[in-house]
């Protein structure tokens, strides 16, 4: 548990040192697994000691303590092996990784190794690159600390024997960061701000690579995160985009998001069209740009959705979420009936998901068919996967049913 | 202190004392009052120092069993008989006594339903097995 005194420590500055120290150890020939464990120990030690005894050179302190832990670990390992009467092995020599390239990028490629499951990639990234403690990561994912510790050490074991000096898959890194972001964005507030952490890591990534999609991802996160303060009301109830108090949106984040997105889009050529994160960021920017829900530029949003679904050959199966988002845009630009028709094609793929029913309900309501909207909201509520979402959909069902009732009684009152 | 599981059901259990339609068919103000009460119960348990856990379960259910050697697991997703129990969620509480657990369960059951009247919902109260502190070895 981190006490108040520890919180006074500038944790952000401490955690920012992690990638550099860890990369230094790995490049010196230590294996990633052991070095990462040693650094985690050093980090916990720093959180304990620094508030009262701040070191003069933080980087050197962390490196020294981590190295000492490595030596200790190797000694006890050696002792264990001697006891087992096994051959004492020299510390792994390892091929030193190339010196060029950025520490953060190098570590991200290690942690987001394609062989690892997404949950492990995220956990390892948050620890080895983000400098979070196992405890904090466990809290963010609502699992016991021991479970998260085990997940991380299994992930590192799976990495053993892999050469970590080859360039990794940037697409996987982007997906992992986005997964960390959405976990933090959707979930209830925890002590660790996962969404903020993902933004910090994405920002670091944009300094390490010229890839426009990295900037697209950062822009997308910023442009969505800007609306977070308006997403829930004071009672914790979900407020949909069309009913949000737009004065609560973070204009500074929106401005940064737009700037980052523009710099990404400027790097495009005829042959190289914007990727999915840039497109989604552009859609988010158009929402952020509207002073009111009525002023939303739906035709422009639809045009970006056209680009998004055109990225794959079979969007219905490869990216049904994009097709569903497009159906909403179609509904708002071309009419509810057209939107519903678009969503029909997804019934087979998404018919079991609450989101599909919620979109249908929204489109029915848009078209004035309140009974159909109420039924679809109720269908969505029974499939919702979290309490806030379920409660929201139940409210929507109740509200549309009541509106329909009012409409009918008005109709009978009028002769 | 003993721990209890207070189970809520989508269906199953004794004959309902007050049958009501599904919540999505209630009036908006009744929905709000009901949800506010649920939050209030969790907050009350926390402020009393009696709260351990609360979870809600989605209604979709899959029964699964070992399929035998070299065989895939056997799963059935229904339809299940409408009479079978379906758990909706729970609170886990850590309380002084069995009486206190019943008192809290009854309070949870007083959640407002349609028209603001109590739901009188049956709550399934189950004690969680635990090691009772013992002052002396049992004879």
The pLDDT of residue A370: 96
Q: What is the pLDDT of residues A273-298, one digit of tens each?
A: 899 999 999 999 999 999 999 999 99
Chain B residue with minimal CA distance to A384? Answer: B58
Indicate which CATH number applies to the domain containing B47: 3.30.70.1060
Can you read off the two tokens belonging to residue B125?
A: 């109260």
Nearest-10 Cα torsion for A202, A203, A209, A214: 50
Q: What is the mean pLDDT of residues B97-104?
A: 97
Please write the tens of the pLDDT for every residue from A28-69.
777 788 888 888 888 888 888 888 888 888 888 888 898 888
| SS3 state of residue B31 | helix
Q: Residue A88: what pLDDT?
A: 38
- Summarised one tens digit per residue, pLDDT across range A132-167 is 899 988 888 888 999 999 999 999 888 876 665 566
Q: Chain A contacts of B56, Cβ < 8 Å?
A: 387, 390
Tell me whether B21 touches chain A (CB under 8 Å): no
- Nearest chain A residue to B59 by CA: give it: A382
Percent of chain A residues topping a pLDDT of 90: 51
C-beta separation of A354 from A383 below 8 A? yes
- pLDDT score at A158: 86
CB contact under 8 A, B28 and A377: no
Relative to beta strand B3-11, strand B124-128 is: antiparallel
**Nearest residue on chain B to A393, alpha-carbon basis:** B24
The pLDDT tens digits of the residues spanning A357-383 come to: 999 999 999 999 999 999 999 999 999
**CA gap A367, A373 in Å, rounded:** 9
Which residues of A fall within a CB distance of 8 Å from B23?
394, 398
| Residue B41 counted as domain residue | yes
CB within 8 Å: B58 and A384? yes
Q: What is the DSSP string of A21-65?
A: HHHHHHHTT--HHHHHHHHHHHHHHHHHHTTTS--SSHHHHHHHH
Domain assignment present for residue B76? The answer is: no
Interface test with A, best of B24, B26, B41, B111 (most A CBs within 10 A): B24
Return the number of other C-beta atoms located less than 10 Å from residue B83's C-beta: 7
State the pLDDT confidence band at A414, using cuts at 50, 70 and 90. low
- What is the token pair recorded at B68? 């035998």
Residue A119 has pLDDT above 60, yes or no: yes
pTM over 0.95: no
- Nearest CA to B95 among B136, B44, B20, B19? B44
Whether pLDDT at A86 is above 50: no
The answer to whether the CB atoms of A385 and B58 lie below 8 A apart is yes
Number of domains in chain B: 1
Separation CA A246–CA A254 (nearest Å)? 12
| pLDDT, tens digit (0-9, with 9 covering 90-100), for B106-122 | 999 999 999 999 999 99
| Record: contact B28-A387, CB cut-off 8 A | no
The separation between CA B72 and the C-alpha centre of its own chain, rounded to angstroms, equals 33
What is the H or E stretch that residue B8 is in? strand B3-11
Mean pLDDT (chain B, rounded): 91
Q: Report the distance separating Cα A90 and Cα A304, nearest Å.
A: 57
Q: Does B77 touch chain A (CB under 8 A)?
A: no
Asked whether the beta carbons of residue A378 and residue B36 sit closer than 8 angstroms, the reply is no
Identify the pLDDT of residue A216: 97
Q: Provide the pLDDT confidence category of residue A89 given band limits of 50, 70 and 90.
A: very low
Q: Is residue B139 part of a domain?
A: no
> Would the CB atoms of B32 and A374 count as touching at under 8 Å?
no
Q: Where are the alpha helices (DSSP H) in B1-64?
A: 28-48
The reply to whether B73 falls in a domain is: no
Please give the sequence-ordered ranges of beta strands (E in DSSP) within A127-219, or none if there are none: none
User: CB of B62 within 8 Å of any CB in chain A?
Assistant: no
Cβ–Cβ of B24/A399 closer than 8 Å?
no
Using a CB-CB cut-off of 8 Å, the residues of chain B touching A395 are: 28, 31-32
B135: in domain:
no
Domain that holds residue B116: 3-59+83-128
* pLDDT for residue A51: 86
Residue A92 has pLDDT above 60, yes or no: no
Q: Interface of chain A against chain B, CB under 8 Å? A: 235-236, 374, 377-378, 381-385, 387, 390-391, 393-395, 397-399, 401-402
Please indicate, yes or no, if residue B72 is contained in any of the structural domains: no
Question: In whole angstroms, what is the distance from residue B69 CA to residue A332 CA?
Answer: 54
The confidence score (pLDDT) of residue A163 equals 62
Q: Which residues of B touch A401 (CB under 8 A)?
A: 24-25
Per the domain annotation, does B36 fall within a domain?
A: yes
What tens digit of pLDDT does each residue of B47-93 get? 999 999 999 999 988 899 999 999 999 998 766 666 688 999 999 99
Q: How confident is the model at residue A388 (pLDDT cuts 50, 70, 90)?
A: very high
Residue A403 C-alpha, separation from nearest chain B C-alpha, in angstroms:
10
Closest CA to A36 of A110, A88, A96, A94: A110
Residue at B90 is within a domain: yes
Specify the pLDDT at position A91.
38
> For the ranges A9-18, A126-135, A334-343, B27-36, which has the lowest average pLDDT?
A9-18
Q: Do B26 and A385 touch (CB under 8 A)?
A: no
Identify the H or E element spanning B56.
strand B51-56
Least CB-CB distance to A399: which of B28, B30, B39?
A: B28
Eight-state DSSP code of residue A169: -
């Amino acid at each position: 548990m981190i006490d108040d005194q520890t919180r006074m420590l500038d944790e952000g500055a401490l955690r920012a040192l992690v990638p550099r120290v860890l990369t230094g150890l790995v490049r010196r020939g230590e294996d990633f697994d052991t070095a990462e464990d040693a650094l985690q120990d050093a980090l916990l030690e720093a959180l304990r000691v620094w508030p009262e005894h701040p070191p003069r050179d933080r980087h050197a302190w962390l490196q020294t303590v981590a190295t000492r832990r490595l030596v200790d670990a190797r000694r006890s390992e050696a002792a264990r092996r001697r006891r087992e009467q096994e051959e004492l092995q020299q510390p792994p020599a390892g091929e030193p990784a190339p010196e060029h390239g950025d520490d953060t990028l190098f570590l991200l490629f290690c942690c987001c190794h394609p062989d690892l499951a997404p949950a492990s990639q995220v956990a390892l990234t948050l620890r080895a690159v983000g400098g979070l403690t196992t405890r904090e990561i466990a809290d963010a994912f609502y699992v016991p600390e021991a479970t998260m510790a085990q997940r991380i050490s299994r992930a590192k074991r799976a990495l053993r024997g892999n050469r970590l000096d080859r360039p990794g898959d940037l697409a996987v890194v982007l997906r992992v960061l986005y997964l960390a972001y959405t976990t933090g964005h959707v979930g209830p507030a925890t002590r660790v701000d996962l969404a903020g952490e993902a933004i910090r890591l994405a920002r670091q990534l944009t300094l390490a690579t010229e890839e426009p999609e990295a900037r697209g991802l950062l822009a997308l996160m910023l442009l969505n995160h800007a609306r977070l303060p308006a997403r829930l009301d004071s009672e914790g109830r979900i407020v949909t985009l069309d009913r949000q108090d737009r004065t609560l949106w973070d204009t500074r984040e929106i401005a940064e998001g737009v700037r980052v997105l523009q710099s990404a889009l400027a790097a495009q050529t005829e042959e190289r069209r914007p990727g999915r994160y840039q497109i989604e960021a552009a859609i988010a920017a158009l929402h952020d740009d509207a002073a009111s829900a009525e002023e939303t530029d739906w035709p422009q949003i639809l045009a970006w959705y056209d680009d998004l679904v055109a990225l794959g050959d079979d969007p219905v199966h490869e990216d049904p979420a994009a097709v569903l988002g497009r159906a909403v845009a179609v509904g708002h630009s071309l009419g509810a009936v057209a939107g519903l028709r678009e969503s029909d094609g997804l019934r087979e793929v998404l018919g079991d998901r609450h989101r599909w029913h919620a979109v249908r309900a929204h489109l029915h309501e848009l078209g004035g068919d309140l009974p159909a909207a109420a039924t679809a909201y109720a269908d969505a509520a029974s499939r919702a996967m979290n309490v806030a979402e379920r409660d929201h959909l139940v409210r929507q069902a109740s509200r549309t049913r009541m509106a329909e009732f009012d409409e009918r009684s008005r109709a009978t009152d009028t002769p | 202190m003993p721990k209890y599981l207070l189970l809520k059901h989508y269906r199953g259990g004794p004959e309902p004392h007050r049958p009501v339609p599904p919540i999505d068919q209630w009036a908006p103000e009744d929905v709000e009052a009901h949800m506010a009460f649920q939050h209030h119960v969790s907050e009350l348990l926390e402020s009393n120092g009696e709260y351990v856990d609360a979870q809600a379960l989605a209604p979709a259910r899959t029964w699964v069993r070992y399929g035998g050697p070299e065989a895939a697991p056997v799963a059935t997703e229904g339809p299940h008989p409408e009479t079978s129990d379906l758990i909706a969620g729970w609170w886990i509480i850590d309380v002084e006594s069995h009486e206190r657990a019943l008192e809290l369960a009854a309070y949870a059951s007083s959640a407002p339903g349609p028209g603001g009247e109590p739901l009188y919902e049956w709550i399934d109260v189950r004690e969680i097995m635990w090691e009772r502190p013992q002052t002396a070895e049992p004879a």
